[in-house]
Amino acid sequence: MKSEETNALVLGRFQPFHKGHLEVIRTIAKEWDSVTIGIGSAQFSHTYENPFTAGERHLMISKALRDDGMTNYSILPIVDVNRYAVWVAHVVSMVPPFKAVYSNNALTKRLFSEAGYEVRASPLFNRETYSGTEIRRRILIGEKWKHLVPKATAKVIEEIDGIQRLKDLCAGAAPLRYSNEPAEGSWEDH
């Protein structure tokens, strides 16, 4: 499919969507006609590392980008295929044509560049705190976290009782996990 419009692809798990993600997408959206945001590991939810469903993450992103006044984006869930050799083809089959992919993950970068795609690293903003891992940790232990996410993300988390969900997931000896959950960061960066 040919298109004169330029589109860039951004991949992440967005557990949850935070201000670092917003800043990256804002920057990319200025450079390209449109941005496709792929919600990775879309099949996972209700685990400590992946607490929110793809639908909940979609809401966080769409509401935050709408509040930001952005219109040139689309958001698509992408479930994992646990075969890296076919992962790029899988992603490509799920999203509109794109000219470049943005990621900081070494494996993602390698797989897309081996497949002939232009790969760009996105600049990191305030990475110590604009981090999904850090935000989940703060929610769990009751430390301040709302200033690290767009207002829309905090609202969605509140509406779905997400704070209690995270705490419940971690109650007891070990966090709930699916046995086939990929190791942390298996395809996305840390």
Site residues, ligand ATP (CB under 6 A): 12-15, 20-21, 24, 103-105, 122, 124-127, 130-133, 188-190
* Residue number, 127 or 167, with CB nearest to ligand ATP: 127
Select the residue whose beta carbon is closest to ligand ATP and give its number: 20
CB 18 within 8 A of CB 131: yes
CB of 41 to ligand ATP, least distance (A): 9
Question: Site residues (CB under 5 A) for Mg ion?
Answer: 188-189
Sequence-distant (≥ 6) Cβ neighbours of residue 22 within 8 angstroms: 64, 65, 68, 150
Return the DSSP state at 147.
Answer: G
Q: How many CB atoms lie within 10 A of CB 173?
A: 5
Strand pairing partners for 8? 35, 100
151 binds, among ligand ATP, Mg ion, none (CB under 5 to 8 A by kind): none
d(CA 109, CA 128): 22
CB of 42 to ligand ATP, least distance (A): 12
d(CA 149, CA 130): 8
CB of 101 to ligand ATP, least distance (A): 10
CB of 166 to ligand ATP, least distance (A): 13
d(CA 179, CA 189): 21
Q: 168: which 2 tokens?
A: 């419940």
* Residue number, 68 or 189, with CB nearest to Mg ion: 189
* Residue number, 77 or 96, with CB nearest to Mg ion: 77
153 binds, among Mg ion, ligand ATP, none (CB under 5 to 8 A by kind): none
